[in-house]
Amino acid sequence: MAKRIVVTGGSGTAGQHVVSYLLDQGHDILNIDLVPFPDARLADRVHTLRADLTDSGQVYNALCSHFHLTEPFREPLRQLPDAVVHLAGYARNMMVPDNETFRGNALSMYNIVEAASRLGIPKVVLASSITVYGVSFAEGEVDYPAFPVDEEVDANPMDTYAISKVCGERVARGFARRFGSDIYVLRLGRVVAPHEYTEAMFRSYVREPRRWRAHGWSYIDARDLGQMFDLAVRKDGLGFQIFNAVNDTITNNASPTAEFLKSVCPDTPITRDMGPDEAPISNRKIRELLGFRENHPWRKYYPS
């Protein structure tokens, strides 16, 4: 069933692909962002409402907005969205000073969750990050606590960006408990857009795998990410949930996954048998609970 979905940050790299996928599934989308939607092919289907998400009043107002500008308004009137997909925020450390990274990310996530909960919007899906596992922006080299990294592994970061994401996750958990609502958190791996498979970073993933502990030798294709958000919007009744949002396979051909991990992280325990090319960050939960099926494995696009 098609739904009315508010997407925050839809003009960003990941957001564009998520919005495109949701539109392809027949959903009606309102984009909340500070810049226009950049894909001219879809711009006439996606209205962008400018809003500062750190201002709670603007958030409440935006979530009650019309989705399309017409004269007069003809869409279903005074109808709340069916879901909110929250992607907006600073995408990493050192885009702005640390205190602003924390303020912007934590406060915008709080405002979205609070407003959606109080308004009675039945589904909120939030973008978090695998950086919460404490490796990506650590002070120096740090190992993951165990492999595979599933959602039960302790989120114990030391950097401001990941700490802001952990705070948002705790806010979501509290409001889901308080209101008895569905709030799902997707911990995104490094988002890879289609053109990036032939560029320097992904070549380095494959050819220099020892460099990429920070990304957990995992990634998420931007189009498969769209599928994940669509599945999360459609699946009801799970309460508060956290899902690793990564693709199925490790980002290199060095050796079977377990053998490779033993060579680069010899002190990190491996807690179960792993598939020969299974990603070290596990997506088993999102496959089992939401039904995710990978459509865009990296080997399909990487030049042999």
pLDDT digits (tens, 9 = 90+) for 153-169: 999 999 999 999 999 99
Mean pLDDT value across residues 261-277 = 97
State residue 93's pLDDT score.
Answer: 98
State residue 53's pLDDT score.
Answer: 98
Q: Give residue-wise pLDDT tens across range 201-251.
A: 999 999 999 999 999 999 999 999 999 999 999 999 999 999 999 999 999
Q: Give residue-wise pLDDT tens across range 208-217.
A: 999 999 999 9
State residue 175's pLDDT score.
Answer: 98
State residue 89's pLDDT score.
Answer: 98
All domains of the chain, ordered by start, with CATH?
A: 4-192+221-248+281-295 (3.40.50.720)
State residue 76's pLDDT score.
Answer: 86
Instruction: Identify any residues that bridge with 48 across adjacent strands, giving them in sequence order.
Output: 31
| Mean pLDDT of the residues in the chain | 97
Mean pLDDT value across residues 170-183 = 98
State residue 140's pLDDT score.
Answer: 96
Residue 300's Cβ-count burial label (10 Å; 0-12, 13-18, 19+) is: exposed
State residue 40's pLDDT score.
Answer: 87
State residue 26's pLDDT score.
Answer: 97
Instruction: Identify any residues that bridge with 240 across adjacent strands, giving them in sequence order.
Output: 183
State residue 43's pLDDT score.
Answer: 82
What percent of the chain shows pLDDT beyond 90? Answer: 97
State residue 105's pLDDT score.
Answer: 98
Torsion of CA 16, 17, 20, 23, to 10 degrees: -100
- pLDDT over 80 (residue 304): no
Please answer whether residues 301 and 194 qualify as being in contact, where contact means their C-beta atoms are separated by less than 8 angstroms. yes
State residue 1's pLDDT score.
Answer: 86
Enter the pTM of the model.
0.97
- pLDDT over 80 (residue 111): yes
The answer for 26, left when phi > 0, alpha when psi is -120 to 50, beta otherwise, is left
State residue 94's pLDDT score.
Answer: 98
Integer angstrom CA distances of residue 254 from 32, 90, 109, 136, 299: 42, 33, 39, 21, 14
Mean pLDDT value across residues 106-132 = 98
